[in-house]
Amino acid sequence: EAEAIVAETGFSKASLARLYQRFQALDRDDKGYLNRYDLEGVGELAVNPIGDRIINAFFPDGGEEADFRSFARVLAHFRPVEAPGNPEDINSHLSKLKFAFQLYDQDKDGKISRAEMLQVLRMMVGLQVTNDQLENITDRTIQEADRDGDNAISFEEFAKSVEKLNIERKMSLRILK
């Protein structure tokens, strides 16, 4: 199975072995899988304002268990890009954008609604701004990104609005230290 995971994720065999050690360390009860509780102990996720959304990515379709393969697959999105590669690679610019978009698009309808944007912004700023200020920020964010006037942000609009960000750097984690 290791060969298949290497092919799927782009991790080297050595990185995959270290990642498996990390997986085993997180699997405190030796269950052979991780649950939400196990992942909540990861410091980078605990302090990330959208850490819960990232944790949810480990459990597609509402499942409660993440085996090593799904663990590696999610973390591969955060693998730094070493050189320009295939846009289909799991850690390519396009794949990172799609993954980030899915963190916002919780109902999976292909659009980021005002409510979804408001939810993420609330997670990011917490109680630092008033509800009115947050509503205004949300409205402005959608207005700036919404090119077709449907009061939502499609993937294409999202990609265009974040094109000036260095998504490769922002979505790269040094998982293996």
Say what the pTM is. 0.76
pLDDT in tens, 118-129: 999 988 887 788
* pLDDT tier, 5 (very low <50, low <70, confident <90, very high otherwise): very high
Last residue of a domain, one of 78, 107, 131: 78
- The whole-number pLDDT of residue 168 equals 61
pLDDT at 92: 76
* Rounded percentage of the chain residues whose pLDDT exceeds 90: 53
Q: Which amino acid type is present at position 109?
A: D
Burial of 155 from C-beta contacts in 10 A (0-12 / 13-18 / 19+)? middle
Identify whether residues 63 and 107 lie together within a single domain.
no
In this prediction, residues 133-145 reach a mean pLDDT of: 94
Residues 1 and 63 in one domain: yes
Stretch 41-47: mean pLDDT, rounded?
A: 79
177 has a pLDDT exceeding 50: no
Largest separation between any pair of C-alpha atoms in the chain = 52
- Number of structural domains, the chain? 2
Higher pLDDT, 110 or 46: 110
Q: How far is CA 49 from CA 9, 102, 122, 129, 134, in A?
A: 26, 16, 9, 15, 15
pLDDT at 101 over 50: yes
Burial of 5 per CB tally in 10 Å (0-12, 13-18, 19+): buried
Rounded to 10 degrees, the C-alpha dihedral 24/81/45/5 comes to -30
Q: Mean of the pLDDT values across residues 36-61?
A: 85
Domain extent, residue 39, equals: 1-78
| Structural domain includes residue 146 | yes
- Bridge-partner residues for 154, per DSSP? 111
Q: Which residue has the higher pLDDT, 27 or 60?
A: 27
My answer on whether 53 and 118 are in the same domain is no
Is 98 found in the same domain as 159? yes
Q: Kindly report the CATH number assigned to the domain that includes residue 132.
A: 1.10.238.10
> Do the Cβ atoms of 103 and 54 come closer than 8 Å?
yes
